[in-house]
Copies of this chain bind each other. A is one copy, B any other.
Amino acid sequence: MSQATILGRAARGWTRAASATPMVGVVDVLLRGLGQVMLQNNPATGLVLAAGVLVGDPLLAVAGLVGLGSSTLAAHLLGAEHGLIRDGQFGFNGVLVGIALAANLRPDSLLVLYVIAAGASSTLVLLALGHLLGRYQVPVLTAPFVLVTWAGLLAADRLDHLDPDGPGVPAPSRAGTFEGSFAGSFEALLRGISQVVLQDSWATGLLLLFGVLLSSRISALFAVVGSTVGAATALALGGQDPSVVHGVFGFNAVLSAIAVGGLFFVLTWCSALLAVLAAAGAAALTAGMAAVLAPSGEPALTAPFVLVTWLCVLAGRAVPALRPVALADVIT
Q: Which residues of A contact B (CB under 8 A)?
A: 77-80, 110, 114, 117, 121, 123-125, 127-132, 136, 150-152, 154-162, 234, 236-240, 277, 280-281, 284-285, 287-292, 295-296, 310-312, 314-315, 317-322
Contact = CB atoms under 8 A, between A and B. Distances in A.
Between A128, A155, A290, A319, the greatest number of chain B beta carbons within 10 A of the residue's beta carbon is seen for: A155
A78 B128 contact: no
A78 B319 contact: yes
B132 A238 contact: no
Contacts of A155: 237, 284-285, 287-288, 291
A158 B281 contact: no
A154 B292 contact: yes
B285 A158 contact: no
A238 B315 contact: no
A144 to B, nearest CB: 10
Given A78-B321, A79-B321, A296-B291, A315 B239 contact: no
A154 to B, nearest CB: 4
B237 A289 contact: no
A162 B291 CA distance: 14
A145 to B, nearest CB: 15
A117 B278 CA distance: 11
Contacts of A154: 287-289, 291-292
26 contacts: A79-B319, A79-B320, A80-B318, A123-B315, A124-B315, A125-B311, A127-B315, A128-B315, A128-B318, A130-B318, A131-B315, A152-B284, A155-B285, A155-B291, A157-B287, A158-B288, A158-B291, A159-B237, A159-B287, A160-B239, A161-B237, A161-B238, A162-B237, A162-B238, A291-B296, A292-B296
A114 B238 CA distance: 13
Contacts of A114: 237
Contacts of A159: 234, 237-239, 284, 287
Between A234, A284, A289, A321, the greatest number of chain B beta carbons within 10 A of the residue's beta carbon is seen for: A284
A79 B284 CA distance: 26
B284 A151 contact: yes
Contacts of A287: 154-155, 157-159
A240 B310 contact: no
Contacts of A281: 117, 121
A320 B130 CA distance: 15
A319 B239 contact: no
A244 to B, nearest CB: 11
Given A78-B319, A285-B151, A321-B79, A239 B128 contact: no
A84 to B, nearest CB: 10
Contact of A314 (B127, B160, B240): B127
Contacts of A277: 117
A154 B110 CA distance: 37
